[in-house]
Chains A and B, each alone.
Chain A
Amino acid sequence: MFANVLSSWGISVKQTRQLIGWVFSLSLLLGSSWLYAQQSIDKIESTDNYAVAISADVDQLFKDLAAANLREKSNIITSLDQQSGREMLPVYQAMLNGELYYDKESLQLYQVKDNDQGKESVYSVFSGELVEGQTAKGLKKVRVNNKLRKQLRGSIARIQLLFGERAERQAAAQTMLDNISPETLALFQDAAENESDQEIRDLLAVGMAMNTVATASATEERVAAIGVLSTRLETPVRNQLMNLVDKDSSGEFVEQDAAVRAAAESALKEIDGKIRFYGFMEKLFFGLSLGSVFLLAAIGLAITFGVMGVINMAHGEMIMLGAYTTYVVQLLMPNHLEWTILVAIPAAFLVSGSVGVIIERTVIRFLHGRPLETLLATFGISLILQQLVRTIFSPLNRQVSTPDWLSGSIELNPVFSLTYNRLSILIFSLVVFAILMLVMKKTSLGLNVRAVSQNRNMAKAMGIKTERVDSMTFGLGSGIAGVAGVALSQLTNVGPNLGQSYIIDSFMVVVFGGVGNLLGTLVGSFSLGVANKFLEPVTGAVLANIIILVFIILFIQKRPKGLFPQKGRAAE
């Protein structure tokens, strides 16, 4: 069911699998190992030279390949193409990467590359298994030149197109669109007959239509082919259509046929319309993604500033601590990189949260009711924390690696794709927000916090331990900042100044949304994020930033209490 819905959006089954796996925080590792388990190499007959069975002809060709000169190699590859199928893929790939070697005596082919420890090792060319006892010493590289590489790429694409996994076939078809030639056309026709997947068949049809447009002579035939192309967003399609309506240097149309030109023009218009739409969607997505970062950075602040009325200038450093916690967690468990993020989230919450509690107990408590002094003191703390991190970890940026299940993207079409890390941070921010809302609305802590924020003395009189509530609130706000740091570590470099760059933006979001209003923070962060991304192409990133800042400064003039002010007499 779920898969059907997704594929109707243009998300394939494998992607769906990835999506599900990713949503439930299962790693792609599991998913893909399951996939690989299903995939078995067809066995034909066995010879003992290679672990995988190959025919004697092929074996001979391999031997020739080792000794041949560059031109002969080209011919040998052509013969190999004709005689074999999918199993040749690793050989070609090794050859393309310059990892294919041969034994000078036996002319046996091997793959030579660095192993995990960075030591040069010899692998079987088909199975990829380590060949024990064999050193690279007696081996010689199978030389390739650019012409050969091009041919290899073509052959690899061919194999992938005909025998590959679904994603491989799709990718191959897409690559081959760049360069439609009579050979590729034949290949496309071949592939289209055996292809079961509708999407790939469409792609192949596009390739054939492109060929028709380029080579056919009858006007109707070409116009019909352009009709097929007009629904596609692939770059080569657009380029071809652009060429059709282009003029040469003397001002003459390159394309003589007016009807074809007209068809191409309308097709281009349609395509450009779609591209604009997806461009809009992309900006929206980037805007929401930036908004989610703002949200994560700002909700902690919305609690300490909005609910407690405490200005915490060290909030940015709480984010930074969270990011460094991720870094440390990855250092501690290098063999389980996939899981580090999940471990880092609670760890960062605890680290930043407890630092927050310590700050509250040792400094902020004594500055109660003096917001400007609190601002200065927490600023001092932020300097100390920054310098501390600089001293411990070095002032240089640290790289936090992204687990596989967070890298990559959902490609909805050639011009629009959603990267997993941004998408997940977007969802993550909403989840954190929802949890926080629940905590504030449904738990006794939330009730106490709201009571204290509205009337401290009354709350005290009713037996609420206001000091404890202050500590808890501050810890909660700081902890969430730490969690934000984990998310940010997936997007940017982790350095001592990480937090600083977000603190002003976060304050702007909170002020814009209305202090003391979590929902306002949500709306504020997303609107600022989206506004930023829509301004950016027009004005450039820095100017967009400035415009937003100036806008907020002016906005505060008009509505000093933000978008969603606290109402009633209590706000006075």
Chain B
Amino acid sequence: MTVLDATREMFRRDQVWPFLVDESSAVDVSHNMILYVEGLSVSFDGFKALNDLNLYVKDGELRCLIGANGAGKTTLMDVITGKTQCDQGSVYFGQTINLLQRSEPEIAQLGIGRKFQKPTVFEAHTVFDNLELSLKADKGIWYTLRASLSSEDIDRIDDVLELIGLKEQRFMQAGALSHGQKQWLEIGMLLASDPRLLLIDEPVAGMTAQETERTAELLTSLAGDRTVIVVEHDMEFVRSIARTVTVLHQGTVLAEGTMDEVQNNRDVIEVYLGEEAGEEAGETA
């Protein structure tokens, strides 16, 4: 490497100098894996919500989690985002970061974003404010006290508004949005925070077919730069976006593979897709 190259490398516009990078947020994905979940167990009052669960997610992957109610999908997300303490196991973000030792805000600042089952936006704030608060920025007290929007921030928010189709409603109070719009706003808040890993819980519940389609488009476009994990019950939707599907059952991974592989898996047919498969068989007949 010549001196010139080195200098160029040093002043590349698209990256930050290493000493400016907050160490805690540097995700080491040198083995091309972004999330390691190993031997995870969680029990509530005797009931095992997760039972020795193993899950590995590649960097840039779009992964769908499916499973019956109580299979442990939401609990898994709770553990990853720090909401629920686990009894056993380990969760690593990249090679080095042990998520189990971190609190929810720390995990969020690492670049793990989450969308809840029920849309939760700040109803007293405007759409714009909701996005502003989600921006990837210093989330400390002193910074927020004197924070002001830079033109890049405004542009970013405008981009997101465009993307989620809420440009008209930017100064509307979020509480006044429709259910679907709230879903979009929440996705927008996720995007504004520029996460490495997105955990999305039932994104299309309450959306029209058209909106569902747009969501599918959005999620597929996100994958690659970011890693996306989606929990969804809508099988059509899963089929339309999924490359890899993981089936959870009673707190463990039952099967993993492409949609077709999973659908042909006997265990899966038995416990979860049985009904669905039967229906489909009827349709084709």
Contacts and interface: CB of A to CB of B under 8 A. Distances in A.
| Complex: A in contact with B (CB within 8 Å) | yes
Interface of A: 567-569
Contacts of A568: 44-45, 47
A568 B45 CA distance: 5
B162 to A, nearest CB: 37
Nearest to A566: B45
A336 B43 CA distance: 61
Contacts of A569: 44
Nearest to A567: B45
A569 B78 CA distance: 13
* 6 A-B pairs closest in CB distance: A567-B45, A568-B45, A569-B44, A568-B44, A568-B47, A567-B44
Interface in B47-62: 47
Interface string B19-45: 000000000000000000000000011
Interface string B210-233: 000000000000000000000000
Contacts of B47: 568
Interface string B59-73: 000000000000000
A569 B44 CA distance: 7
Contacts of A567: 44-45
6 contacts: A567-B44, A567-B45, A568-B44, A568-B45, A568-B47, A569-B44
A65 to B, nearest CB: 84
Nearest to A569: B44
Interface size class of B (residues with CB under 8 A): under 10
Nearest to B75: A569
B251 to A, nearest CB: 13
A181 to B, nearest CB: 73
A209 B45 CA distance: 66
Nearest to B78: A572
B44 to A, nearest CB: 5
A423 B247 CA distance: 63
A567 B45 CA distance: 6
Contacts of B45: 567-568
A438 B8 CA distance: 81
Nearest to B70: A569
A568 B44 CA distance: 5
A567 B47 CA distance: 11
Interface string B162-191: 000000000000000000000000000000
B259 to A, nearest CB: 30
B187 to A, nearest CB: 25
A567 B43 CA distance: 11
A493 B47 CA distance: 51
A302 to B, nearest CB: 21
A562 to B, nearest CB: 16
Contacts of B44: 567-569
A572 to B, nearest CB: 9
B106 to A, nearest CB: 21
A310 to B, nearest CB: 25
B269 to A, nearest CB: 29
B41 to A, nearest CB: 16
A397 B129 CA distance: 58
A343 B53 CA distance: 64
A533 B106 CA distance: 45
A568 B43 CA distance: 9
A568 B47 CA distance: 8
A567 B44 CA distance: 8
A76 B44 CA distance: 88
A370 to B, nearest CB: 16
A140 B137 CA distance: 102
Nearest to B83: A572
Nearest to B84: A572
A569 B74 CA distance: 12
B2 to A, nearest CB: 59
B116 to A, nearest CB: 13
A560 to B, nearest CB: 14
Nearest to B47: A568
A569 B50 CA distance: 13
A375 B47 CA distance: 35
A565 to B, nearest CB: 10
A96 B270 CA distance: 99
A569 B69 CA distance: 14
A559 to B, nearest CB: 14
A549 to B, nearest CB: 29
A514 to B, nearest CB: 14
A103 to B, nearest CB: 87
B113 to A, nearest CB: 22
A568 B46 CA distance: 8
A413 to B, nearest CB: 49
B17 to A, nearest CB: 42
B108 to A, nearest CB: 20
A8 to B, nearest CB: 47
B137 to A, nearest CB: 30
A123 to B, nearest CB: 74
A431 B111 CA distance: 58
A558 to B, nearest CB: 15
A470 B178 CA distance: 33
A95 B45 CA distance: 76
B138 to A, nearest CB: 29
A416 B45 CA distance: 46
A569 B49 CA distance: 10
